[in-house]
Amino acid sequence: MTESAHSIDVTQQNFQRIVIDGSGERPVLVDFWASWCQPCQMLMPILAKLAQAYAGKFLLAKVNTDQEQHLAAQYGIRSLPTVVLFKNGKPVDQFMGVQPESSIRALLDKHLPRPSDAARQQAQQALQQGNADAAVLLLQQALEADPDNQTLKIDLAQALLALRHFDEAEHALNTLPMDLHQQEPVKRLQAHLRLARVAPADAAQAQALQQRLQSEPNDPQVLQQLGAYYTLHEDYAQALALFLQLMRSHRRYADDAGHKGLLAIFEILGARHPLVNEYRRKMVSLLY
């Protein structure tokens, strides 16, 4: 293996100095590999390219597990390649197998300081305070200075969604690399966006729909819109009940909107949530 200014081979003898102590000064990305491992050979050029591109913001440390079996055992390495990011002497993130460059960049960017960090923090504070317009402006300015920061695009989509600028929010998400669309924060945001498009814009409209539901308890449009509204306001039990009723009564309405609404909430809550377990069983019983 060859070394460069931004990557180095690591052994049991120098691991403490380079990885543990060195990660107090800058993050160290440790690549556990072996010469017989074909995926390792595929990943190495990607990591080397990133080490050069980031120009010293992190150090790439390479551990040959055939020669350093004790290190591999110490860190519980069970498959190759495994890549572990160390900060301040401790492992803080990792991935296994060959990953696309954009996914590795996203992992690094979570832990590396960027010029846009201050603007992003200000935008998050503005959004929490209900000032989505200010958040959008800050994020757009930050993206001009840091256009490769995918996290900024996700934050921008969130702020645009709060303003009900649905097409712009969707465009921001569509500019993300395809592999990021499979990450949970993006999938949840996409689910929120789909529901926000049909939800009433405010509490007054929602109240009017609730009154309609009293007299028309099976109106599919009301069921869909109120289900979306309750989801966005985190009343998931009520929302799931409405979407299940819509699925039971009007399977063909709006391209099976009840079924899609249930799936969107499952995406938001995650597979282990007890409401998901309960309503997935009920949904399956309607499907089969």
Residue 29 is part of a domain; what is its CATH number?
3.40.30.10
- Give the end of a domain, one of 87, 111, 135: 111
Please tell me whether residues 86 and 19 are part of one structural domain: yes
160: domain range? 117-179
For residue 182, give the DSSP letter.
G
Which of these three, 111, 132, 162, is where a domain ends?
A: 111
Q: Quick one: pLDDT at residue 179?
A: 85
Tally the domains of the chain.
Answer: 3
Residue 82 resides in a domain: yes
- Rounded average pLDDT over 167-192: 93
- CA 194, 195, 198, 202: dihedral to nearest 10 degrees? -130
Mean per-residue pLDDT of the chain = 94
What is the secondary structure of 177-225 as a DSSP string?
Answer: -GGGGGSHHHHHHHHHHHHHTTS-SSHHHHHHHHHHHHH-TT-HHHHHH
As a whole number, mean pLDDT of residues 16-29 equals 96
Do 11 and 104 belong to one domain?
yes
* Whole-number percent of the chain with pLDDT over 90: 88
> Is 194 within a domain?
no
Mean pLDDT of 87-114: 92
Is pLDDT above 70 for 55?
Answer: yes
Can you give the pLDDT at residue 210? 95
Q: Are residues 222 and 281 in the same domain?
A: yes
Q: Say whether pLDDT at 5 is over 70.
A: yes
Q: For 260-269, what is the mean pLDDT?
A: 95
- Segment 227-250 shows an average pLDDT of 97
217 shares its domain with 258: yes
Report if residue 235 sits inside a domain: yes
Cα–Cα distance for residue pair 227/237, rounded to 1 Å: 10
Q: Specify whether 12 is located in the same domain as 107.
A: yes
CA–CA separation, 34 and 32 (whole Å): 7
Examine the domain organization and report whether 236 and 256 are in the same domain.
yes
Active site residues: 37, 40
Same domain, 81 and 167: no
pLDDT at 109: 87
Task: Identify whether 197 is part of a domain.
Answer: no
Does residue 213 sit in helix, strand or coil? Answer: helix
Position 187 in a domain: no
CA angle 143, 232, 216 (to 5 degrees): 145
- How far CA 260 is from CA of 109, 170, 243, 275, 278, in Å, comes to 33, 18, 8, 16, 16
Q: Is residue 122 part of a domain?
A: yes
Q: What is the pLDDT of residue 192?
A: 95
Do 137 and 167 belong to one domain? yes
pLDDT confidence of 141, banded at 50, 70, 90? very high
**Average of pLDDT values for 210-219?**
95
Instruction: Please check whether residues 26 and 87 belong to one and the same domain.
Output: yes
Residue 186 lies in a domain: no
Element (H, E) at 32: strand 28-33
- The pLDDT, as a whole number, for residue 1 is 42
Mean pLDDT of 167-172: 97
Q: State yes or no: pLDDT of 2 exceeds 80.
A: no
Q: Which residue, 179, 194, 229, sits at the end of a domain?
A: 179
Give the model's pLDDT for residue 43.
97
Range scoring the smallest mean pLDDT among 10-19, 109-118, 135-144, 187-196:
109-118
Considering the entire predicted model, what is its pTM?
A: 0.70
Q: What percent of the chain has pLDDT over 70?
A: 99
CATH number at residue 139: 1.25.40.10
pLDDT, mean of residues 100-129: 92
Whether residues 213 and 282 fall in one domain: yes
Asked if 87 and 130 sit in the same domain, the reply is no
Tokens of 58: 């992190």
Say whether both 92 and 128 belong to one domain.
no
Q: Is residue 1 included in any domain, yes or no? A: no
Which band of pLDDT confidence, cut at 50, 70 and 90, is reported for residue 3? low
pLDDT grade, residue 72 (50/70/90)?
very high
